[in-house]
Structure 1
């Protein structure tokens, strides 16, 4: 059994940093695809995504701290892709990408407690509140008195 191997010369000169950065890739139709960048250097990056991407696709990638950059795919292994930036990024941008938080923290202070005072009662409301208790008592007892009177008349 013969085994054929193709050797490639690795001409990368930039040091790769292991990272775990969420980013957005855009294919030629500009549809966003969520990706995870696993390593990053001035000349390129390695990413994983479940989206199939062709070698000839012109892609751009948005990375927090770096911004949007054009790139091209140079290799693929399963769901992992090796990509090269069309224009290299500088060291400061790579460091900024590693420290940028995508969650904005804000202090909104405490909300003031608003108390609503009861509006002043008019004369009708005063009268209703004075007789509300007796009205509720009569409304509760009256149906039972009526049921008892009907039952007494029927059972006689």
Structure 2
């Protein structure tokens, strides 16, 4: 019995950087799916996902701090897919994405601004409860007065 070996060439044109960064993949219906980027280069990335993606499909991925990029699924791997960007990342975008991953910065899909401050509450929590208690007390007082007027109590 003989074994046949096959040689697979690494066709990447840019060095890859290992990372673990959450990202959002948009399918053909633009439905968002959470994925994880395992490695990133200027020309592509590997995404970890349980989604079934056809080889050759072009999708959009939102990468924290650098926005949305079109990518093509080029190969299936165990637990994910190797993807090539339709347009290579700028070196500055690659550095920003790697720095964001290192600092665990989470940014919503496609956002580039600082997170919004928390909205101020319109009413203090205690004021709502006090209003409910006041309404109950007033309704009991009205009931008592009506019962006195008609002579039941």
How big is the alpha-carbon RMSD for the aligned residues of Structure 1 and Structure 2? Answer: 2.9
* 1:52 shift after superposition: 1.1
Matches within 5 A, 1:7-156: 7-98=7-98, 99=100, 100-102=105-107, 104=115, 106=117
TM-score by length of 1: 0.61
Give the whole-Å Cα distance in 1 for the aligned partners of 2:31 and 2:116: 29
Offset from partner CA, 1:48-85 (integer Å, 9 cap, x none) = 00111110322111111221111111211222211110
Give the whole-Å Cα distance in 1 for the aligned partners of 2:75 and 2:33: 18
Structure 2, unaligned runs of 5 or more: 109-114, 128-153
Secondary structure of the 1:95 match is: helix
* 1:108 shift after superposition: 8.4
Task: Report 1 or 2 for greater relative contact order, CA contacts < 8 Å, sequence distance ≥ 6.
Answer: 2
Give the whole-Å Cα distance in 2 for the aligned partners of 1:49 and 1:35: 5
Offset from partner CA, 1:114-149 (integer Å, 9 cap, x none) = xx9xxxxxxxxxxxxxxxxxxxxxxxxxxxxxxxxx
Give the whole-Å Cα distance in 1 for the aligned partners of 2:5 and 2:76: 16
TM-score by length of 2: 0.63
- Matched residues, number: 116
Secondary structure of the 2:3 match is: coil
